[in-house]
Amino acid sequence: MGGSEESIYNVPWQVSIQVSARHVCGGAIYSKDIIITAAHCVQDKSVTLMQVRVGANYHNSGGRLIPVGAYMIHEQYNKQFKYYDIALIRLATQLTYSLSVKAIGLATVSPTAGASVSVSGWGYLQPNGADGFASSLQVVQLNVIERNECASAKYGYGWDFVGDEMICAAAPNKDACTGDSGGPMVSEKLLAGIIAWGYGCGQLNYPGVYVDVAVLRPWIIKAANSI
């Protein structure tokens, strides 16, 4: 929401997670056979129905469709409270890197409060989804909100919902939305967050919430080697 069109050449790590040949979520390329996404994007899904589109400006055409071999959801993922909403997908065939298909490195420190971050995907452009998913890839710039502040009475979530492994980010009339989940939050050319959840899209009192990649970096590295 509130973003602008972006070329895949500027975000070559961006992928579309597809189930039954339909876009459901975003994801980020970690290596030639590992994609990072959100747990709720893949939970209870059959790998035989899943594909990943890479190197494309559009979620429904272009680039290349890669079959999925397996996925792994974080052991502490909590569907109700959305804690640890992260998963890895192992591709059935390895990627060939190009100008439009590249991995992104993992952040080692969480972005600081007020930092500018970019978020990309093909999610809804309007909160009600009236126009469906964006046809072409969109990017939006947001500002990080300190976790304790995001969990405070200043905003609408409360302490129970903003876990230690989460980052909040917002900007007026700008946000990730349905269909963007699992996609990348980028800070200083590193993967800093994974789009996870939010109450509505772009609502004043409810920032977007992201999985903090720096916090979960050890799990990502370990899981990528064992999936």
Q: What is the largest CA-CA distance in the chain?
A: 47
Q: Are 195 and 210 in contact (CB under 8 A)?
A: yes
Report in angstroms the alpha-carbon separations of 201 from 31, 81, 121: 30, 18, 14
d(CA 35, CA 224): 9
Tell me, rounded to whole angstroms, the distance of Cα 82 from its chain centroid. 14
The secondary structure element, H or E, covering residue 214 is helix 213-224
207 vs 120: CA distance, rounded Å: 16
State whether the Cα torsion 15-16-20-21 is positive or negative.
Answer: negative
Q: Tell the residue number behind the tokens 């952040």, with chain if given.
A: 107
Name the residues annotated as catalytic: 40, 85, 181
Residue recorded with tokens 């890197």? 97
Structural element, H or E, at residue 88: strand 87-91
Rounded CA Rg of the chain:
16
